[in-house]
Amino acid sequence: MSTGTTKLDVVVSDVVPVNELVTRFHFRRRDGELLPTFSGGAHVVVEMRDGDRTRLNPYSLMGSPLDTREYTISVRRDDVGRGGSLFMHRQVKPGLEMVISYPVNLFSLDLRAKKHLMLAGGIGITPFMAQTSQLAGAGGNFELHYTCRTASLGTYADVLQQRYGNRVRLYHDDREERIDLDRLLSSQPLGTHLYVCGPAGMINWVRDRAAALGWPPETVHFEHFAAPQPGAPFDVELAVSGKTIRVGEQQSLLEAIEAAGVDPPYLCRGGVCGQCETNVISSDGKFIHNDHWLSEEDHRSGCKIMPCVSRFEGKSLVLER
């Protein structure tokens, strides 16, 4: 398998429904040993063997980095997605043996920061669960602003408020509570770093405002795992391996390449890490880019694609793979 994706054999030690949409899963090592250490913001890729299909989805670790007896992830049910979250919700029970990747951190804290300002939207709260534990343990200075649809969907809002009191601020969409972003960003002490995890729209909004208000890009960290979108099937020629493959409606291009026995690099499978970047040799049609890695220029050029999340529509596509 690919770079940094060494596997861990685990068993599901607990499954805990958190609210109507979110369920938490606990994993322990099958051999009873401790799991590898990680830092707040890390994720693992969970392999879901569902009949003859294998899905690989990234999930942020949300437990305390100080406790490596188990890993915990929280999965929000997505009824219109490609089925990964439904598989987790319906098929995964305590005692099930699963395989997950080693943790990889693409959203780590910059510990040189004087203060950490965190903005979470919805299920984007999970990496902050681990980061706040890590910072609280080390006496770090942080403040978390968490937007959720309703109080009952404010996953872990109660736990966080209990742990950190007024360092946690909640905003409920149904009560028309909105973060006063410009004010918040304009009132932070020098040396603050900003972290955002949530829906793409929120991330773009926060990044735009931070840039406009003078925050250097190096101080703005974000993570958004784009879920691969289903779409019309399309054919791809893999020039290096000399294969022609078909990407199914519910399959990602990366999954289709893997299913053909080719082993391309990946880390996040969510369009953020850049590992899977692939050169396009020729194309006749339209790219559907869903990643957060390539620049707009790259997207327009049609010379590159991130197969973990992006698709293609048209007559022909030849990749250097």
Partner 1 sequence: MAAKTIISRPIYGTLSPQPGKHHLFIADAEGALAIIDMAGKAPPGFFDGTEIVFIPGPEGKHIAALEALKPAQLHIAPSFASLLPRLKQTLTNAHMGLRLYLSGTEGLIGQAMQVALEAGMDHTSMQTEHRGSLARRMQCVHCKGITENVTTQPALCAHCGLLLLVRDHYSRRLAAFQGVCINAEDRSEVPPMEEAFP
Phi, psi (rounded to 5 degrees) for 151: -60, -40
C-alpha–C-alpha distance, residues 121 and 131, integer Å: 15
Three-class SS state of 214: coil
Cβ 132 vs Cβ 164: under 8 Å: yes
For residue 91, what are the CA distances in angstroms to 85, 96, 97?
Answer: 10, 9, 12
Query: Would you list the DSSP string of 240-256?
Result: TTTEEEEE-TTS-HHHH
State yes or no: residue 25 binds ligand FES (CB under 6 A). no
Cβ 307 vs Cβ 257: under 8 Å: yes
State yes or no: residue 215 binds ligand FES (CB under 6 A). no
218 contact, one of ligand FES, partner 1, none, CB 5-8 Å limit per kind: partner 1
- Return the residue of 38, 128, 156, 293 that touches ligand FES, per CB under 6 A: 293
State yes or no: residue 59 binds ligand FES (CB under 6 A). no
> What part of residues 215-254 is at the interface with partner 1 (CB under 8 A)?
215-219
Applying CB under 8 A, what is the total number of residues that bind partner 1?
A: 18
For residue 54, what are the CA distances in angstroms to 83, 231, 252, 258?
Answer: 11, 18, 11, 10
For the CB of residue 213, give the shortest distance to partner 1 in the complex, in Å: 5
Interface map 89-128 toward partner 1 (x if CB under 8 A) = -------------------------x--------------
273 contact, one of partner 1, ligand FES, none, CB 5-8 Å limit per kind: ligand FES
Q: How many CB atoms lie within 10 A of CB 300?
A: 11
For the CB of residue 184, give the shortest distance to partner 1 in the complex, in Å: 10
Tell me which residue of 105, 32, 80 sits closest to 250, measured CA to CA: 80
For residue 144, what are the CA distances in angstroms to 56, 115, 277, 290?
Answer: 30, 11, 33, 28
Mark the segment that binds partner 1 (CB under 8 A) among 5-13, 60-68, 210-218, 313-321. 210-218
Burial of 208 (0-12, 13-18, 19+ CB in 10 A): exposed
275 contact, one of ligand FES, partner 1, none, CB 5-8 Å limit per kind: ligand FES
State yes or no: residue 214 binds partner 1 (CB under 8 A). yes
How many residues are present in the chain?
321
> What part of residues 103-122 is at the interface with ligand FES (CB under 6 A)?
none
269 contact, one of ligand FES, partner 1, none, CB 5-8 Å limit per kind: ligand FES
For residue 23, what are the CA distances in angstroms to 76, 100, 127, 241?
Answer: 7, 18, 15, 40
> What part of residues 251-290 is at the interface with ligand FES (CB under 6 A)?
266-269, 271-276
CA atoms within 13 A on the CB side of 184: 18
State yes or no: residue 185 binds partner 1 (CB under 8 A). yes
- Return the residue of 190, 261, 295, 297 that touches partner 1, per CB under 8 A: 190
The DSSP letter of residue 95 is: T
Nearer to partner 1, 57 or 192 (CB): 192
State yes or no: residue 187 binds partner 1 (CB under 8 A). yes
Which positions lie near ligand FES, rule CB under 6 A? 266-269, 271-276, 291, 293, 306, 308
Which positions lie near partner 1, rule CB under 8 A? 114, 185-192, 211-219
